[in-house]
Amino acid sequence: MSSPDATEPPSLYAAREPIFPRRVYGRFRNLKWGLMGLMLGIYYVTPWIRWDRGPNLPDQAVLLDLAHRRFFFFMIEIWPHEFYFVAGLLVMAGLGLFLFTSAAGRVWCGYACPQTVWTDLFILVERWVEGDRNARIRLHRQKWDGEKVRKRAVKWTAWFLIAMATGGAWVFYFTDAPTLLVNLVTGQAGAVAYLTILILTATTFAFGGFAREQICIYACPWPRIQAAMMDEDTLTIAYRDWRGEPRGKLHKGEIAAGQGDCIDCMACVNVCPMGIDIRDGQQLACITCGLCIDACNDTMDKIGRPRDLIGYMALTDETAERKGDAPISVWKHVFRPRTILYTLLWGGVGVGLIVALFLRSAIDVNVSPVRNPTFVTLSDGTIRNAYDVRLRNKQGSDAVFTISVPFDSGLRAELEGLSGLSVTVNANETLSQRVYLNAPRGSAPATEDRTQVRMWFEELGTTNRVHQDTVFNGKAE
Amino acid sequence: MCAKKVTQKPGDVPTTGHVWDGIEELDNPMPRWWVWVFYATIVWGIGYSIAYPAWPLISGATPGLLGASTRADVVAEIKRFDDANASIKQALVDADITTVSANPDLMSFAQNAGAAVFRTNCTTCHGSGANGIEGKGYPSLLDDDWLWGGDIENIHATITHGIRNTTHPDARWSQMPAFGADQILERPQIAEVVEYVLQMSGQDHDATLAAAGEAVYLDNCAACHMEDGSGDITQGAPNLADAIWLYGGSRDAVTYSVVNARFGVMPGWNDKLTEDEIRAVALYVHSRGGGQ
């Protein structure tokens, strides 16, 4: 990067400066290893969990069956008309992000974002193959000799295999995993499966291996949105400059008079996967992964100074600490009206979804009155209304449904194309049946403008019985 | 951090000179790969405009080397569906139309295809809901009152040949004299027979006139409309005793019909639609609630 000069305008673009994060040990690093293992484990293992649902239904615990428009999640089965469950989950995901961001800042970015997790994994592989920071810098500057070619080839191959496994695992969520694996290997899987794997392999390889922090800085909208959700009580990572400054080298045996705790060892900078200096203050590029805290604490331990020169803190803590007051506890930052409100909203949606899940009736039926025309006059003066009824059979076997209206309503039901009032719906299918309600000439429903009517649906041979309220349009005279 | 020694502080980054409330806009350089992506899109754009239709000319546009055409795609797509449906269409043509409803696959196809044919060709007169226009001569196809018969074979014949359609020898063709305009009946006789018809259909009427009208009816009307007024589907004579009136059932409307006679027309469809389309739309109409 050219140095700023008043006479010479700065360059419009600059090459990315490569980042070589150093290995670090500590509390946050261990937390990140644990979370990485957990999340990658869930991602790779989930499609292989089996769940017996009986005949004619898939036995994969989590399955997004796009072809048949069903979503299976363990004991839950979602049909397309129940998409509000998915919408509800998305609302919960949104509120969850608000909650975590306002309470603990960019924890999603630092610990859970796939970009962060896979980049972490790719850096781990990089370290295994090429060594730690200094070895990697050396290799980076080295000419393309045998050693460099070999190491790069091994690293890229390993990255590619991880990338392929990532894209490969994705497609297993959409169809029966064991069958698809066999088909993939034997070349019999659909083109869309190979294409999906190809695209996800390419993006994983490029984003985890090369783009890395640039995705966060240039591509991701989340860092920009977060500013709206953070406030002065939000936990974030900060450098206690009032304790650290003026920074300076500390030589063995010396007592640094007039110097702060920061010995300018650059440990916090060297471990940073984003390539920033946390001592410059809170900045957009910081994903709050906590690795600089581990690095700095290690140094503080060595020079015998108190830990947490760099640490999680809120803006209010800084003001308090500068004045010499004790920082308030983390819990007081986390539990405040804003986060409690988010939690209540989040929990409310969650409880609502669970209640809706258990209130789903065994028979799924939808009655829509035909409004063009609202009624038909038959030759004997009978007023007829038509209804398009959709009956869903969610079971693995055929079911017979009987449709009726209360006798005292004065209405008589009739089914299009059928002589009785029973209709068979095949296993796992939705049937559309036209139902007629007839009101004799001069009867109350025939002469009134609108009459409320309750249509009953009963599954033969079971106790399943539901009703739908609808309306009968008469010939008001 | 980068391999180079850190020399730059945030304060060193040049600014654009824009300041809002003390917040300065930094002028960081763009990443170089971003510029490469920009150049790549230019190259892609040039290649795309050569490969695909792009540059507008006086008429049309440059065709592009790959010969891509959305119109050709649509034609191909329609042909693909036509080919895919060819066998079931043939099955529909070959089937006995009275038993199609027992075949769920064929019936499902006929329902959907028939609905499409109906929307395109029939809604102009019969309405999008197939309920016609009451009192205006456009019959409802949803009720159980049929001029020419409501079983599937009669519906099929009516659609195929049309009504009062001069180009088809087999077209439905009804006749009714204009009793008033042609001075077949005297005015008082017409008034009497109208009251009798109102009585037959259970409406308010003048009983004295109606009693006198019975003889007029039996002499002049019963041949086609039958003694009990139930009409005759073989002649297209409407039922006069029911609650459904093609041209209105009021005293004035019935009088007008007796004086002038009224006839509807319908085109024959066998020169516009294929046999499978006619069968599909016949089955669709038959299953709207009125089919017999």
Q: What is the pLDDT of residues A31-85, one digit of tens each?
A: 999 999 999 999 999 999 998 887 778 889 999 988 888 888 888 888 888 888 8
Same domain for B249 and B134: no
C-alpha A199 chain-centroid distance: 20
The predicted-structure confidence for A242-261, as pLDDT tens digits, reads as follows 888 888 887 766 666 778 88
Whether residue B135 is predicted with pLDDT greater than 90 in this model: the reply is no
Whether residue A5 is predicted with pLDDT greater than 70 in this model: the reply is no
Chain A residue with the nearest C-alpha to that of B288: A416
- Is the CB of B31 less than 8 angstroms away from the CB of A218? yes
- Closest alpha carbon to A363 in A329, A403, A306: A403
Q: How far is CA B225 from CA A225, A263, B170, B216, B236, in A?
A: 79, 113, 22, 13, 9
- The answer to whether A158 and A174 are in contact (CB under 8 A) is no
Whether residue B281 is predicted with pLDDT greater than 50 in this model: the reply is yes
The predicted-structure confidence for A165-211, as pLDDT tens digits, reads as follows 998 899 999 998 999 999 998 988 889 999 999 999 999 999 999 99
pLDDT of residue A7: 57
- Determine the distance in angstroms separating the CA of A384 from the nearest CA of chain B, rounded to an integer: 9
Least confident of B132-136, B150-154, B206-210: B132-136
Whether residue B4 is predicted with pLDDT greater than 50 in this model: the reply is no
d(CA B128, CA A361): 35
Number of A/B CB contacts below 8 angstroms equals: 108
The predicted-structure confidence for B222-266, as pLDDT tens digits, reads as follows 999 999 999 999 999 999 999 899 999 999 999 999 999 999 999
- What CATH number is attached to the domain comprising A437? 2.60.40.10
d(CA A380, CA B226): 17
Q: What is the mean pLDDT of residues A438-455?
A: 93
Please check whether residue B276 lies inside any domain of the structure. Answer: yes
Please check whether residue A220 lies inside any domain of the structure. Answer: yes
What's the one-letter identity of residue B221?
C
Same domain for A245 and A221: no
Same domain for A177 and A41: yes
Same domain for B107 and B161: yes
Residue-number span of the structural domain to which A147 is assigned? 27-226
pLDDT band at A2 (very low <50, low <70, confident <90, very high): very low
Same domain for B155 and B95: yes
- Determine the distance in angstroms separating the CA of A77 from the nearest CA of chain B, rounded to an integer: 28
Least confident of A317-321, A409-413, B85-89: A317-321
Whether residue A4 is predicted with pLDDT greater than 70 in this model: the reply is no
Question: How many CB atoms are closer than 10 A to CB A375?
Answer: 23
Same domain for B150 and B27: no
Chain A neighbors of B242, CB-CB under 8 A: 379-381
Please check whether residue B150 lies inside any domain of the structure. Answer: yes
Of A313, A333, A353, the position where a domain reaches its end is A333
Same domain for A240 and A222: no
B4 close to A (CB below 8 A): yes
Same domain for A453 and A374: yes
Total number of domains constituting chain A: 3
Please check whether residue A356 lies inside any domain of the structure. Answer: no
Whether residue A138 is predicted with pLDDT greater than 50 in this model: the reply is yes
Q: How far is CA B100 from CA A62, A431, B19, B108, B150, in A?
A: 42, 19, 79, 10, 16
pLDDT band at B9 (very low <50, low <70, confident <90, very high): low
Total number of domains constituting chain B: 3
Please check whether residue B226 lies inside any domain of the structure. Answer: yes
Please check whether residue A15 lies inside any domain of the structure. Answer: no
Please check whether residue B73 lies inside any domain of the structure. Answer: no
Percent of chain A at pLDDT > 90 equals: 53
- What CATH number is attached to the domain comprising B225? 1.10.760.10
Question: How many CB atoms are closer than 10 A to CB A176?
Answer: 16
- Is the CB of B1 less than 8 angstroms away from the CB of A377? no
Q: What is the mean pLDDT of residues B163-181?
A: 91
Phi, psi of A417 (to 5 degrees): 75, 0
Whether residue B80 is predicted with pLDDT greater than 90 in this model: the reply is yes
pLDDT band at B277 (very low <50, low <70, confident <90, very high): very high
- What is the DSSP secondary-structure string of A26-68? SHHHHHHHHHHHHHHHHHHHGGG-B----TTS--BSEEEETTT
d(CA A21, CA A267): 10
Same domain for A106 and A33: yes
Whether residue B189 is predicted with pLDDT greater than 90 in this model: the reply is yes
A436 close to B (CB below 8 A): yes
pLDDT band at B10 (very low <50, low <70, confident <90, very high): low
- The answer to whether A58 and A72 are in contact (CB under 8 A) is yes
Tokens 């980076």 belong to residue:
A140
Phi, psi of A281 (to 5 degrees): 105, 175
Q: Point out the residue among B1, B33, B143 whose CB comes nearest to the CB of A377.
A: B143
pLDDT of residue B1: 38
d(CA B137, CA B258): 15
Same domain for A132 and A255: no
Chain B neighbors of A3, CB-CB under 8 A: 7, 12
**Which of A377, A384, A432 has the most B C-beta neighbours within 10 Å, making it the best mutation to test the interface with B?**
A377
Same domain for B151 and B19: no
Same domain for A182 and A149: yes
Chain A neighbors of B3, CB-CB under 8 A: 17-18, 20, 137, 140-141
- Is the CB of A376 less than 8 angstroms away from the CB of B131? yes
Please check whether residue B135 lies inside any domain of the structure. Answer: yes
Please check whether residue A10 lies inside any domain of the structure. Answer: no
Same domain for A190 and A81: yes
Phi, psi of A378 (to 5 degrees): -90, 170
Please check whether residue A39 lies inside any domain of the structure. Answer: yes
The predicted-structure confidence for A200-241, as pLDDT tens digits, reads as follows 999 999 999 999 999 998 889 988 888 888 888 888 899 998
Q: What is the ipTM of this complex?
A: 0.80
pLDDT of residue A454: 94
pLDDT of residue A6: 52
B145 close to A (CB below 8 A): yes
C-alpha A460 chain-centroid distance: 41
Same domain for B196 and B162: no
Please check whether residue B292 lies inside any domain of the structure. Answer: no
Chain B residue with the nearest C-alpha to that of A274: B1
Q: What is the mean pLDDT of residues A351-379?
A: 88
Q: Point out the residue among B12, B145, B289 whose CB comes nearest to the CB of A379.
A: B145
Chain A neighbors of B14, CB-CB under 8 A: 4, 10
Give the CA count within 13 Å in the CB-facing half-sphere of A100: 14
- Determine the distance in angstroms separating the CA of B4 from the nearest CA of chain A, rounded to an integer: 9
* Partner B, chain A 86-145, Cβ-Cβ below 8 Å: 137, 140-141
Number of residues in chain B: 292
Please check whether residue A347 lies inside any domain of the structure. Answer: no
pLDDT of residue A57: 80
Chain A neighbors of B27, CB-CB under 8 A: 10
B27 close to A (CB below 8 A): yes
Same domain for A157 and A59: yes
- Is the CB of B3 less than 8 angstroms away from the CB of A140? yes
Same domain for A39 and A160: yes
Least confident of A99-103, A324-328, B56-60: A324-328
DSSP B235: T
pLDDT of residue B163: 94
Same domain for B165 and B133: yes
B243 close to A (CB below 8 A): yes
Same domain for B125 and B92: yes
Same domain for B16 and B129: no
Residue-number span of the structural domain to which B146 is assigned? 85-171+266-286
- Determine the distance in angstroms separating the CA of A268 from the nearest CA of chain B, rounded to an integer: 9
- Is the CB of B1 less than 8 angstroms away from the CB of A276? yes
Same domain for A247 and A205: no
Same domain for B274 and B135: yes
- The answer to whether B193 and B220 are in contact (CB under 8 A) is yes
pLDDT of residue B8: 52
Same domain for B279 and B152: yes
pLDDT of residue A11: 77
Locate the DSSP E strands across A360-429.
364-369, 376-377, 383-392, 399-404, 412-415, 422-425
Please check whether residue B60 lies inside any domain of the structure. Answer: no
Same domain for B234 and B102: no
